[in-house]
């Protein structure tokens, strides 16, 4: 059972690292690759909530328009909890050019469907400022 959990964590880590790499390269296909067609995302810039793969894809237009492919989109800390068919991951991320770098939180909810992990929910957030 422990080995199964470690294998799931490894698969999910690889999935998230590939997604982050696709974001850095502005590769829409790579960004969307493991997201479910019914994905729900909460994001920092509007829209506050996106439902479905088409709406999720559109959220990246703004990001790609404001960031160069050389800008950071890096995972600083990643923790994964995986069951047999449901998992979640939490991360601290860093994005943007060095002079305007933003640290944000990422939460991803996944389901294993037909033997593959699919991202069902994605949530980006920043700490509230006083």
pLDDT reported for residue 129: 76
Q: Is residue 56 part of a domain?
A: yes
DSSP annotation of 115: T
pLDDT in tens, 16-35: 999 999 999 999 999 999 99
Q: Is residue 130 part of a domain?
A: no
Number of domains in the chain: 1
pLDDT reported for residue 70: 66
Q: Is residue 37 pLDDT above 90, yes or no?
A: yes
Q: Assess contact for 60 and 28: CB atoms under 8 A.
A: yes
Q: Is residue 102 pLDDT above 60, yes or no?
A: yes
Cα separation, 6 vs 11, whole angstroms: 9
Q: Is residue 72 part of a domain?
A: yes
pTM, two decimal places:
0.90
Q: What is the CATH number of the domain that holds 115?
A: 3.10.450.50
Domain range for residue 100?
2-125
pLDDT reported for residue 2: 54
Under the banding of pLDDT at 50, 70 and 90, the label for residue 100 is confident
Q: Is residue 113 part of a domain?
A: yes
pLDDT in tens, 120-129: 999 999 887 7
Q: Is residue 40 part of a domain?
A: yes
DSSP annotation of 94: E
pLDDT in tens, 38-70: 999 998 888 889 999 999 999 999 888 887 776
């Amino acid at each position: 059972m422990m080995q199964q959990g470690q294998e799931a964590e490894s698969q999910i880590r690889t999935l998230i690292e590939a997604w982050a790499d696709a974001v850095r390269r502005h590769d829409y296909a790579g960004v969307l690759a493991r997201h479910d067609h019914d994905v729900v995302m909460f994001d920092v810039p509007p829209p506050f909530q996106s439902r479905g793969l088409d709406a999720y894809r559109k959220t990246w237009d703004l990001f790609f328009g404001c960031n160069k492919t050389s800008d950071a989109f890096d995972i600083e800390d990643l923790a994964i909890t995986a069951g047999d068919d449901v998992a979640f991951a939490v991360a601290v991320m860093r994005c943007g050019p060095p002079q305007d770098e933003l640290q944000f939180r990422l939460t991803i909810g996944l389901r294993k469907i037909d033997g593959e992990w699919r991202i069902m929910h994605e949530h980006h957030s920043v700490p509230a400022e006083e």
